[in-house]
Structure 1
Amino acid sequence: MARPLTIALVAGEASGDILGAGLMQALKARHPDARFIGVGGPRMQAEGLDSCFPMERLAVMGLVEVLGRLPELLKRRRRLIQTLIAERPDVFVGIDAPDFNLGVELELRQAGIRTVHYVSPSVWAWRQKRVLKIRRACDLMLTLFPFEAQFYEAQQVPVCFVGHPLADAIPLEADRLAARTALGLAERDAVVALLPGSRGGEVARLGGLFLDAAERLCALRPGLRFVLPCANAERRAQLEALFGDRELPIELLDGRSHEALAACDAVLIASGTATLEAMLFKRPMVVAYRVAPLTYRILKRLVKSPYVSLPNLLAGRLLVPELIQDAATPEALAATLLPLLDEGAAQTESFDTIHRALRRGASDRAAEAVLQLLERA
């Protein structure tokens, strides 16, 4: 009896878990008996993934911060490669986490296993020589954004632009009134969403800063209200500890970031995927980010892109303000965000065009690309 189609996937954090679950759903629609192995979070496991170890062990960011975890990461990668070569899946899909996954892909491809990388690393922005390793490591690159596909085509790497699943999931026009009703906000309220990140390190560096900026905004605009989605119970406890003796009209939410974005008038937000979500909800935003000082000094020398936030990268011009590292002060954040409460439409007028360009049925397109690769093999 022939074995079912066996697909290995590895995701390293929550955003990859979402992408992986969508891809698995699309693959199961075409191959209901498909078997999935690798590493993933709760969403991928709910779709049937047999995870070799908890996905959270791969969730680390920053050039300096990763050093303390490096021995564990290398050991886990070595064991995973051994397991997958023994299992011989029909294809391996590495979802984001390039520093971990590209090494896996390189060894699996050398062992004769087809490999796909889903979500391009930022090779167009920094460390462009990584494209040489990508060319050796993967049979196909799946990109979420069109400018990434153009880069790989120029570098002669097989590539398919699939669009972004968030652009498929988020409506072209969000129901603000319904979101406000669900969150207990009045239609007339002026509301700012605070999104300081989902990782502990991000919240440690940005949480207090965002609360200080909220205090400043309250002084400048009495009656202003805030919503702050917490990624999980740990982040909620971390944020509650940061409040100290501040008295702020902030509602901490358990998850519900999409409702917060749909309901608000403007967003103070950490650089990352959340900026894409804010753009898809057509909300004006101010982007802030801080990393460890040594990491910042290294990145400043290496990064070639003039922008860090996805709305600006997608537009190819400065749409949203970016306040990075020492420029991200409470006074600067408040002063930059305050005008957006009344004049945000000037910033968001291009957001709908970008949304439509990314709305491609990403999970289905990704599944078709993976299966076509296997057919060619």
Structure 2
Amino acid sequence: MPKQAAHNNTSSLMIVTGEASGDLHGAHVVREIKKIFPTIECYGIGGTQMQQVGVDIHTNVSELSVVGLAEVLKHYPRLRKILNKTKYSLKQKKPDLLILIDSPDFNLPLAKTAKQCGIKVLYYISPQIWAWRKNRIKLIQKYVDMMAVVFPFEEKFYLDANVPVEYVGHPLTKEAKATVEKNRLINSNELDPNKKLIGLFPGSRLSEIENNYPVLLDSAKTLLKQREDVQFITPVASTLSNDLIQKYISEAGIEVNTTSNNIYNVINACDAIAAASGTVTLQITLMQVPMLIIYKISPITYQIFKRIVKFSYAGIANVIAGKEISREFIQADATAKNVSTELNKLLSDERYIAEMINNMQKIKNELGNKDGSANTARLAADLINT
């Protein structure tokens, strides 16, 4: 364990994330950092998870939760105002360390400001620059002191670019476990224990809900016409309101249970899941629950992405595996017919299910059991102490 800094009483760090999953990862890192620096001052951009471990939240993560070019342009004035406010805070407070979590379009400009102010920068969870916009590596080379990456192949990518890097392990490998039994969640949510439970996971950003949830709800309605032994549940991310989700459910005219319960408890209770592409698909993979992936974005954003993104899959587990272990339905393929047909297969084709679960286990084995949060906290302490 790194030694405690002599200036511990005045140590401070700013931590910034742009989405719900980063709020969770950031909270775990801060918890580990406080084991090393019990009185460190932590502040920045995050959500309820980071707030619960003592981070002073200046801006809620929900303010940044947009995805896609068209969506970003729509909200650009507000995002720019938040960025400028955060830069000003960096310059005024001059923390000992800036920890950035993913969200590169917001965070790389912050890294530049930090470097200009002599503030050290630790980047946790790399942008997917190995897949698209690889020129961002130049910004990382100039402005980031240490990359803490969560996939084994990312370490070599940065080493080849002469960027200080450590593969710390993926934080989800330690987090991915249910805390209550399946039957308990079924009963507490007044679900029918004799019916199959289908998870409808639409994402954590408003734009993801707008683009993906109607498809998931239509798919559920289509599946109900084929079989009556199914019921549905949607976890509500901390960046969203339950009222918003209920509005979509009401408009669809279908019964869907909603919950803010621990995401792993919800995953564990499901027999199959239809999920929007994102961190949650890796969480589902690690819990080894049969899954399909959908993703829809604005047409203009999709056309641009098709020209510049250099990987074959949307789901991170499929990217790691180098093959489609869970079916993906992207853009025009994300239809109620396609999704309901695949859900039916995930409930009834035992050989298909077994093969998918076996491939998920291989992904879990490949990611190993490193403690990503504790290792990242150690890197943070090293940067603060030097």
- The answer, yes or no, to whether TM exceeds 0.5 is yes
Q: Distance in 2 between matches of 1:311 and 1:145?
A: 11
Quote the residue 1:369 is aligned against: 379
Q: Distance in 2 between matches of 1:368 and 1:199?
A: 31
Change beyond 3 A, Cα 1:147–1:183: farther
Quote the residue 1:263 is aligned against: 269
Over aligned residues, Cα RMSD in angstroms? 2.4
On the 8 A contact 2:182/2:269 being kept in 1, the answer is yes
Moved more, 250-259 or 18-27: 250-259
Q: Distance in 2 between matches of 1:253 and 1:187?
A: 17
Question: How many residue pairs end up in the alignment?
Answer: 376
Amino acid corresponding to residue 296 of structure 2 in structure 1: R
Amino acid corresponding to residue 139 of structure 2 in structure 1: K
Q: With structure 2 as the length reference, what TM-score do the two structures score?
A: 0.90
Deviations 1:180-214 (A, max 9, x none): 34444455422211111222221221222111111
Quote the residue 2:3 is aligned against: none
Q: Map residues 186-205 of structure 1 onto 2, 5 A cutoff.
A: 187-205=193-211
Q: Does 1:308 align with 2:314?
A: yes
Change beyond 3 A, Cα 1:82–1:198: closer
Return the match for 1:101 from 85, 107, 111.
Answer: 107
Deviations 1:301-334 (A, max 9, x none): 0110001101101222211101000011110111
Amino acid corresponding to residue 78 of structure 1 in structure 2: N
Q: Distance in 2 between matches of 1:229 and 1:196?
A: 9
Quote the residue 1:221 is aligned against: 227
Q: Distance in 2 between matches of 1:158 and 1:137?
A: 11
Quote the residue 1:240 is aligned against: 246
Change beyond 3 A, Cα 1:150–1:78: same
Return the match for 2:170 from 148, 164, 168.
Answer: 164
On the 8 A contact 2:65/2:206 being kept in 1, the answer is no
Deviations 1:317-357 (A, max 9, x none): 21110100001111011112211112212111122232242
TM superposition shift of 1:267: 0.6
Change beyond 3 A, Cα 1:156–1:335: same
Quote the residue 1:279 is aligned against: 285
Q: Does 1:144 align with 2:130?
A: no
On the 8 A contact 1:123/1:130 being kept in 2, the answer is yes
On the 8 A contact 1:198/1:235 being kept in 2, the answer is no
Runs of 5+ consecutive residues of structure 1 not aligned to the other structure: none
Moved more, 171-180 or 257-266: 171-180
Q: Map residues 1-377 of structure 1 onto 2, 5 A cutoff.
A: 2=7, 3-171=9-177, 175-185=181-191, 187-231=193-237, 235-244=241-250, 248-342=254-348, 343=350, 344-356=353-365, 357-375=367-385, 377=386
Q: Distance in 2 between matches of 1:233 and 1:255?
A: 14
TM superposition shift of 1:232: 5.5
TM superposition shift of 1:35: 1.5
Amino acid corresponding to residue 7 of structure 1 in structure 2: L
Q: Distance in 1 between matches of 2:19 and 2:162?
A: 29
Deviations 1:220-239 (A, max 9, x none): 22222222222369543333
Greater relative CO (CA pairs within 8 A, separation 6+): 2
